[in-house]
Structure 1
Amino acid sequence: MKALARWLLLLLIAACALELFFIARIALAATVDPQSTAFQRSEAWRIATHKNLRWRQEWVPYARISDNLKRAVIASEDDGFATHDGVDWDAVEKAWQRNALAEERAARQAASRRPPKIVGGSTITQQLAKNLLLSGERTLLRKGQEIVLTYALESMLSKERILEIYLNSVEWGEGVFGAEAAARHYFRKSAAQLTAWEAARVAVMLPRPKYFEKLPNSAYLAGRASTIAARMRSAELP
């Protein structure tokens, strides 16, 4: 029993140390631009072990990212970004309901062996917490940690800084990270020069960027981009 208690104590100390490390990383990010995220390092390793590493990323300050792109990403990914406290509980509840229905349909169609489509409901801040600091696994423990770090980000960083880091680090294709790399990869121009339609076009790629990179003429992308472009006028910037 003493040995078990000792191991449990060590695990608790390790968990606390990890959380303190995460909090320190977030505090540092308030003034220092992150050189990489946990997701980027994971992707770099995956790409390097399977093929020649092609990597595009260039940090640009918030002012040098087109407001069109900021509005498009907010309209597409998190229309309440400027006002919520980090977690949109209504969106989370709706995502759980959609996932439950998807799992029920998959169970009824078990013979097809097609996995249900899982949707997230994560805000921009939650996505940043996950990509910046956490692994890509989907467990309740990891989701709980994501929510804790989300509130830490919201309390220690401004909304503008959260959006700046997000736009500079989010994936937009195979080895393509950040707004500047995406703008140059898809439109041969800087992130500051993106038009409203161009911004909407890249914003709608975010849920599945590597997939849509291979389908540049997708009818879905064109239709969804038009929808987001129409919503951009009402998107509130921080």
Structure 2
Amino acid sequence: MLGCSSCAMSCASRTNRSASEGSGERSRSRTLIATSRPRDASRQRNTAANPPSPSSGPTVNSSPTARWRRSCRTAMSMADGKRRNARRAALGIVALGVVWLLAVWPPPVWWRAHTPRCTAMMRLRSDCQTASRSTRYVALQEVAPVLQRMVVIGEDSRFHTHSGVDVDEIRDAAGVDPGAGVWATARALWLHRDRVRGASTITQQLAKNLYLSPSRSALRKLKEAVTALRLELTLPKDRILELYLNTAEWGPGIWGVEAASQSYFGVPAARLTADQAAALAATLPFPRTSNPVFQPSRMEARQQLILARFYGRDVTIPPVEEDTLTIPPITVPEVPPVIDSLLKDTILDTLRDTTRDTTRMRRDSLRDSTKKDSTNRDSTSRPI
């Protein structure tokens, strides 16, 4: 009996506890509902006063300050987008410029073990097949050392010390003080750009012969300088000089030192004398307008300067550009008046005789053709 009563008491206590917990939860829920009702009521009043349009989306504050902020944010985002596009365009232009500067084929390293059969200058000046037939490539050991020395004296006296571009020579040509600033140097280079174009090194001339054109634009000179630096990085000096001697133009249609030596002096390049070597070296700046067989006066003047420098005299060899040279006019000797009148009479008599003979020949040929035509007509008119 005692056990039953204790069980009943525990069940009753549990029931009372659950009832009290349920009443507590109901009271808390009532409190939450009561506190949320004012918020819901205020939200409903605002919604009733400003009903949202079905197409405008969420409600946006339309005060002047908010509109000004939104316009500022829009303008800033557009400006950022334009700046990003400008940076991308600038990077693209720079990348294309770098590719254009480095785009030469075959690459300079190719010439370590290969000899050029046809170059860009050969294709521009003449036909590659004709040039290759008349050109014989020779190694540097087959060229007279005196000619190698003469070419270095006449074309690039600091060939063995610079790295492809002679900065000192460019400054001297433009008349720039070594201590001048960047702006003064750039201004002087631009004002005296014609002189700077004549300060090309042997490596730059090789780059022009192999890959480029004789154009004088600033972009072409920039690509020439970059290509010259690449040639210097990949080839030794002797190889550069050998390639230059075999690809340079020594006269109209004369490519290579061996062809020049045979054409002008009838000897191989290994047997050239000092005077002959100086003459060939003096031909390089203007091979088409002054050479040992065509108007040699300018070539001979430069030849004497090269020989003087070769024998130790302190002389200055000016850079000669082909466009600054003037071809001497062809002078016709004056004819005395008596001889002049006799020549005129002789020429007039000759012309009269020639005209008379020509007229007689035409008349005779016309008479013969007329006789033949009449004979043919008579023969065809006879009955068979």
Instruction: Answer whether TM exceeds 0.5 for this pair.
Output: yes
Larger C-alpha radius of gyration, 1 or 2?
2
After the TM superposition, which parts of structure 1 deviate over 6 Å for at least 4 consecutive aligned residues?
4-14
- How far residue 180 of structure 1 moved from its aligned partner, in angstroms, is 0.2
1:225 aligns with 2:303: yes
Provide closer, same or farther for how the CA distance between residues 28 and 118 of structure 1 changes in structure 2, counting only shifts above 3 A. closer
- How far residue 92 of structure 1 moved from its aligned partner, in angstroms, is 1.4
Secondary structure of the residue aligned to 1:213 is coil
- How far residue 127 of structure 1 moved from its aligned partner, in angstroms, is 0.8
Provide closer, same or farther for how the CA distance between residues 133 and 62 of structure 1 changes in structure 2, counting only shifts above 3 A. same
1:73 aligns with 2:73: no
Q: Point out where structure 1 has 5 or more consecutive residues left out of the alignment.
A: 105-115
**RCO higher in structure (CA 8 A, sep ≥6):** 1
Per-residue CA deviation, residues 12-40 of structure 1 (Å, 9 max, x unaligned), is: 77665555542742110111111121111
Distance 1:61 1:129 in 2: 19
- How far residue 83 of structure 1 moved from its aligned partner, in angstroms, is 1.2
Q: Point out where structure 2 has 5 or more consecutive residues left out of the alignment.
A: 1-81, 177-187, 313-384
35, 44, 52: which is aligned to 2:117? Answer: 35
Distance 1:217 1:17 in 2: 43
Length-normalised TM-score, structure 2? 0.49
Aligned to 1:109: none
CA RMSD of aligned residues (A): 3.3
1:183 aligns with 2:265: no
Which amino acid in the other structure matches residue 148 of structure 1? V
Which amino acid in the other structure matches residue 70 of structure 1? Q
Secondary structure of the residue aligned to 1:172 is strand
- How far residue 6 of structure 1 moved from its aligned partner, in angstroms, is 10
Contact 1:87/1:150 (<8 A) preserved:
yes
Contact 2:204/2:225 (<8 A) preserved:
yes
Per-residue CA deviation, residues 85-118 of structure 1 (Å, 9 max, x unaligned), is: 11111221233349x8xx89xxxxxxxxxxx888
Length-normalised TM-score, structure 1? 0.76
Provide closer, same or farther for how the CA distance between residues 18 and 141 of structure 1 changes in structure 2, counting only shifts above 3 A. closer
- How far residue 77 of structure 1 moved from its aligned partner, in angstroms, is 0.5
Provide closer, same or farther for how the CA distance between residues 185 and 139 of structure 1 changes in structure 2, counting only shifts above 3 A. same
Distance 1:220 1:135 in 2: 25
Aligned to 1:172: 250
91, 100, 110: which is aligned to 2:169? Answer: 91
